[in-house]
Structure 1
Amino acid sequence: MAGDRYHSPTAAELVAAYAAGTISPVEATTEALEAIRRHDGDCNAYALVDAESALAGARAAERRWRAGAPASPIDGVPMSIKDLFLTRGWPTLRGSRCVDPDQPWDVDSPAAARLREAGPVLLGKTTTPEMGWKGVCDNPLTGVTRNPWDTTRTTGGSSGGSAAAVASGMGALSVGTDGGGSVRIPASFCGVVGLKPTHGRVPQYPLSALAVLAHAGPMARTVEDAALLLDVLAGPDPRDPFALGPLATPYTDTLGRDVAGVTAAFSPDLGYARVDPEVAAAVASAARALQDAGVRVEQADPGFPDPYDAFDILWCAGAAKWRDVLGDGAGVDPGLRAVIERGLTCSAADYLAAEVERVALGVRMGEFHTRHDVLITPTVPIPAFEAGHDVPPGSGLSDWPRWTPFTYPFNMTHQPAITVPVARTSGGLPIGLQIVGPRHADALVLAVARAVERVHPMADPPAARAAAPAPAS
C-alpha cells in the first residue's frame, strides 16, 4: 500500500491535468473512490464516504473546467475533511457514541463553507479520536485507524484519518485540526505534509473547547499542495472572534522565494526532549542540507523548560467542557473521561496561572525570533508505534503529550509550524522535520519547508512494498 502514496497525483498535478484536458475531475474522483475501496479496509481512515455526492461534485467541477471557469486553483480535487468540522448534510459525530446522528446537520463550519465555494470534491469525513482528545487515532465509534506504511502501527492523531487518507491516495488533500500537534503528529508518522498555521489564520466555528490552543490546517503530500489549500481556507469569518483578516498575498505566490540568508536555529531536543537516534540523525541531516543550500543554520535552543504542566491544565480544563456534549455515558473513551475528570478539578487560579505561563512562552519565542527567522526541530521524537495504544508500549509514559514534546509548545504560542517528511527509519517508517516561525510568518514557514522538500526529500519506498497485515481485532 505504501507505494500508492507516490503514484497518486498531487493536487497541483491534478489541476494542471484538468487545465490541459488530460484528466477530468470525474476520472480523478473515481480513482480516489477506488483507492478508498482498496485500502480503507486496512487503514480505517474514513468515518463517512459519500460516493454519490462526490461524483456529483466532480461532474460539476468538470463542467467548470471545460468552460474555462474553475472556481479556484483546487476545483475538482478529491479530498476529505476531518469529522470534527460541521459539514452540511453529513453528521459530525466526532468519533463518539454520545453524539446523536439523528438531528439537523444544516450548518457548515468555516472550512467546509470555503471548500464548497472553491469546488474541490469532498469524498467524506475522516476519523478522529473521540472529540480529538489525544495524539493517536482510535475511538469507541469507528475503532482504530492504522498507518498505511505499516498497518500494525498508529497513524498518530488526532487527525490520523486525514493523514492516512492523504498518504495512501484516498484523496489528495485533507483538512485537520491541531490543538497540541494533531495535524503535525500524524502527518509526520504517515510521511505527509501538515501545517498548523498561525492561530486564527483558518477560522473555526463552533469554537473548540480548547479554543486557546486549537488551530485548523491543511494536510497534503507536498508543500505546494498545502499552500494551495491554505489559500482557500485562510481569511476572516464573523463567527470566530480569533479569526485573522484577509490575506494580502496568496501563499502560493511566495512559495518559491529564495531562502538563502534565512537564519534558522536547529534545536535537536529543545533542551529537554529524548529523541530516537534514527530520528535525530535524519533531522540533523536535513538541517545540514538546508545549510548547504544557503540557509544560515546554527544549533540553538529557545531556552524554555518543558511547559507540560501548563499545557496539561489548559488541555484538561478545556476538555472538561466536553462533558456538556458527552454527559456521563458509559460509551465515552475511558481515557477521555479521565481527562475530563482531571479538568473538573482545575481551579480558576490554576487556569489563570497556566495562561500566564502560556503568554510568557509566547513572549520568549517572540524574542527568540528576533535572532532566528525560524526554528527547526524533529516533529515527533519517535517513529510510529503499535496501533491501539495511547503511549508507546513499555514506555511508562503517563499520557500522549509526554511522547510529543516538540508540538504542543507551539500551540501555546500560536505560532505557525509545519512538518515535512525527510527520511524513513531502517524499518521503513517516515520521519518528519518541523519548522516553526514567528506568528503571522506562515509564508516564510512554507517557503523554508519547500526548500527542505527540495534539498532533502524522503526516499521513495520500493513500488512493491506491501503494508503489513492488520492484526485481528
Structure 2
Amino acid sequence: MSNEDLCYLSATAALALFRARKLSPVELTQALVERTERVNQRINCLADRYFGEALEQARRAEARYMKRGAKTAPLEGIPLAVKDAQRVAGRRTTHGSLIFKDSVDDHSDPMIERLQKAGAIILARTTTPEFCLTGITESRIWGVTRNPWNTDWAPGGSSGGSGAALAAGLATLATGTDIGGSIRIPAAACGVVGFKPPHGRNPDGPPANFDRFNHCGPMTRSVADAALMQNITSGPHPLDHDSLRQKVKLPAEAASIKGMKIAYSVDLGYVPVEREVRENMLTALDVFRQLGATVAEVDIGWTGDVEANGLHWYNTMHFGRQTIWQRTENADLMTSYALKFADAARKATSIDDVHKVFEQAHRMYQTLGPVLASHDVFICPTNNAPSVKASHDPFDPHFTVAGRKVDPEYGWVMTHQFNMLHNCPVLSVPSGHAATGVPTAIQIVGRSFDDQRVFKAALAYEKAAGGWYTGREKRPKL
C-alpha cells in the first residue's frame, strides 16, 4: 500500500488492519505527517500541529496492538484533526482570531474528550474563519484556506480546514461545528461526508451547547466512519445540561432500502440553483431509484420569507453579538468581515428579532413536517453553488447564483434552513463534481431525532456509488 493510499484509508479499514497487525498506527501517522509537509502549503488547512506528540501516542498505541490479549479502545491509534473552535485540554484554541492567539484551555469539550478517551490521536487543529463567522475560511491569524480540488476556490466554512484536510488526505477523521451549515457547507465543497446531528445528540461545551441552532459533529470520507464517530460521541454528558438522554446506535454497513420513500426538492421552492448542482442531484436520485426506493418531488411550501425572517438572525443577532463585544477593545486585531458583522449587529438589537426566527422555524415545520411524516427522508442540495472563490467577499453586494442576485453570505448554501429546524438530523454526501473540479453534494434530511434512517439511506447510496477517495482517480491532484 502506497503512502498516499494510507493517507486516504478510512478509519474503519485502518482499525481492521491495526487489529490484524498488518498496519501500525505509527506507519499511518507518519504517512500523514509526511504528506502534510509536502501538500499543506498549497491549501493551508491546518493550524497548530502536534506531530511529535502524535507520533509518541502512535507508538504507545502500536505497543497495545502488539500485546496479545490487550483490550484496545474503539479509535485506538486513529489520527484526528480538531477544528480550531473546539477546546482541547492543554492546547490553545484561537477561534481563527488574533484575539485568542494565547488562549490555552484547561479542559476538552465533551465531544473531543470522548474521542480522546476512545483512543483517537489529535494530529493537528484545522483552520476556521474568525469566530466561525462565514462560509469561507480566511483569517488574519491563519491566512486563506483553499479547496484541494481547485485552489482558486474556497473549501467552504466555517469547518473549512477540516473539509480540506480530509479531501487532501491529511487526516483520517476530523471534527466540525454547525450553526448555519458549518459542517455541511465544507463537506459539500470538499467532497466529504458531514453530519449535523439533532441538537443535543452530541454533548458540547458552553456557551454553544445552549444554542438550539448549534451542533457539533463528525466530518469523514465515508458514511461508515461518520457512524463510527457518532456512536462514540453521542449520548448524555454530566456537564452538558442540553445533551440528550437517549443514545442512538447508528448502522455502519449498507442494507437494502427497497421500498424506502424519498421526497426531494431541488430548490426548496425559492432558491436559485446552479445547473451542475441540479444535474448531479438528479443523477444521485436515480441511484436511489435503482436501489428500489420510491423517489418523488414535493412542494414543501417554503418561500423567500425563510431568508427574510431567518437569515437575519444568523447575520446579526447571533453571530454579530460577539463581534460587538470584542470590537470595543480589540478592533485592531479583527478581520474586516468581523468588523462588518459588528456594524450589522448594532442595527439589530430588538428582542422581537429573536422571536421572529422562532416563529419562522415553526411555520417551516408545518409544511416540512407532514412531508417527513409520509416519507422516510427528504433530499435537497447541500450548496446551491459548488463553492465560491477563495477570495469571496461575504458582503459583496453584486454576488449572484444562477444569474440571480442573492445574499453573499448565505445565498449559495441550502444548510441554514435545517439549523432553524434544529432537531432534524442532516447528512451531506457527495453527488459529483462541477466543471471546475469542485465537488457538489446532496443533504439527506430525516424526521426529528431519526438519525438511523438517514444513515441507512446514505450507506446504501455510498455503496452503490462505489465510495469516495477509493482510488487515485477519485482524489484531488495535489
Report the TM-score when normalising by structure 1: 0.92
- 2:255 maps to what in 1? 257
**Deviation digits for residues 322-371 of structure 1 (CA, Å, limit 9, x no counterpart):** 13355442221222222233223230112112222223323433222111
* 1:457 Cα deviation after fit: 4.5
Contact 1:421 1:458 in 2 (8 A): no
Point out the more displaced range, 303-312 or 119-128.
Answer: 303-312
Contact 1:144 1:387 in 2 (8 A): yes
- 1:199 maps to what in 2? 199
Q: How does 1:150-161 map to 2 (within 5 A)?
A: 150-161=150-161
Question: Structure 2 vs 1, CA of residues 172 and 464 (structure 1 numbering), >3 Å: closer, same or farther?
Answer: closer
Secondary structure of the equivalent of 1:251?
Answer: coil
* 1:209 Cα deviation after fit: 8.9
**Deviation digits for residues 170-212 of structure 1 (CA, Å, limit 9, x no counterpart):** 1111010011111111111111111111111111102229812
* 1:308 Cα deviation after fit: 1.3
Question: Structure 2 vs 1, CA of residues 457 and 389 (structure 1 numbering), >3 Å: closer, same or farther?
Answer: farther
Point out the more displaced range, 192-201 or 457-466.
Answer: 457-466
Contact 1:78 1:121 in 2 (8 A): yes
> Does residue 148 in structure 1 map to residue 156 in structure 2?
no
**Deviation digits for residues 421-453 of structure 1 (CA, Å, limit 9, x no counterpart):** 121223322111111011111111111111111
- 2:386 maps to what in 1? 383
Give 1:275's aligned amino acid. Answer: V
- 1:407 maps to what in 2? 415
Q: How does 1:124-143 map to 2 (within 5 A)?
A: 124-143=124-143
CA distance, structure 2, for counterparts of residue 167 and residue 403 of structure 1: 21
CA distance, structure 1, for counterparts of residue 357 and residue 250 of structure 2: 34
* 1:39 Cα deviation after fit: 1.1
CA distance, structure 2, for counterparts of residue 358 and residue 397 of structure 1: 21
Point out the more displaced range, 155-164 or 427-436.
Answer: 427-436
Contact 2:132 2:158 in 1 (8 A): yes
Contact 2:6 2:28 in 1 (8 A): no
* 1:218 Cα deviation after fit: 0.5
- 2:372 maps to what in 1? 369
CA distance, structure 2, for counterparts of residue 22 and residue 351 of structure 1: 55
Give 2:48's aligned amino acid. Answer: L
CA distance, structure 2, for counterparts of residue 137 and residue 247 of structure 1: 33
Question: Structure 2 vs 1, CA of residues 69 and 437 (structure 1 numbering), >3 Å: closer, same or farther?
Answer: farther
CA distance, structure 1, for counterparts of residue 477 and residue 255 of structure 2: 37
Q: How does 1:63-462 map to 2 (within 5 A)?
A: 63-67=63-67, 68-101=69-102, 103-208=103-208, 211-248=211-248, 250-252=249-251, 255-306=253-304, 307-315=306-314, 316-322=316-322, 323-325=324-326, 327-328=328-329, 329-344=331-346, 345-391=348-394, 395=400, 397-404=406-413, 406-414=414-422, 415-457=424-466
Question: Structure 2 vs 1, CA of residues 451 and 209 (structure 1 numbering), >3 Å: closer, same or farther?
Answer: closer
Give 2:358's aligned amino acid. Answer: E
State the superposition RMSD in angstroms.
2.3
Secondary structure of the equivalent of 1:389?
Answer: coil
Contact 2:158 2:182 in 1 (8 A): yes
Secondary structure of the equivalent of 1:217?
Answer: strand
- 2:46 maps to what in 1? 46
Question: Structure 2 vs 1, CA of residues 71 and 412 (structure 1 numbering), >3 Å: closer, same or farther?
Answer: farther
* 1:79 Cα deviation after fit: 1.3
Give 1:72's aligned amino acid. Answer: A
Contact 1:35 1:170 in 2 (8 A): yes
Secondary structure of the equivalent of 1:304?
Answer: coil
CA distance, structure 1, for counterparts of residue 72 and residue 301 of structure 2: 46
Give 2:313's aligned amino acid. Answer: L
Give 1:256's aligned amino acid. Answer: A
Question: Structure 2 vs 1, CA of residues 92 and 327 (structure 1 numbering), >3 Å: closer, same or farther?
Answer: farther
Q: Which structure 1 segments of 5+ residues have no match?
A: 469-473
**Deviation digits for residues 133-181 of structure 1 (CA, Å, limit 9, x no counterpart):** 1111111211110111111111011100000111111111101001111
Contact 1:260 1:293 in 2 (8 A): yes
Give 1:55's aligned amino acid. Answer: L
Give 1:49's aligned amino acid. Answer: R
Count the aligned residue pairs: 462
Secondary structure of the equivalent of 1:79?
Answer: strand
* 1:14 Cα deviation after fit: 0.4
State the identity %. 32
Give 2:226's aligned amino acid. Answer: A
CA distance, structure 2, for counterparts of residue 151 and residue 422 of structure 1: 20
**Deviation digits for residues 377-417 of structure 1 (CA, Å, limit 9, x no counterpart):** 1111112232121458853544311111x211001001111
Contact 1:265 1:297 in 2 (8 A): yes
Contact 2:188 2:383 in 1 (8 A): yes
CA distance, structure 1, for counterparts of residue 79 and residue 73 of structure 2: 13
Secondary structure of the equivalent of 1:402?
Answer: coil
CA distance, structure 2, for counterparts of residue 302 and residue 122 of structure 1: 42
- 1:471 maps to what in 2? none
CA distance, structure 2, for counterparts of residue 365 and residue 5 of structure 1: 42
* 1:257 Cα deviation after fit: 3.4
Contact 1:423 1:458 in 2 (8 A): no
* 1:241 Cα deviation after fit: 2.6
CA distance, structure 2, for counterparts of residue 50 and residue 327 of structure 1: 34
CA distance, structure 1, for counterparts of residue 352 and residue 203 of structure 2: 29
Contact 1:81 1:124 in 2 (8 A): yes
Contact 1:126 1:161 in 2 (8 A): yes
**Deviation digits for residues 187-240 of structure 1 (CA, Å, limit 9, x no counterpart):** 111111111111111111022298121111111111001111111111112333
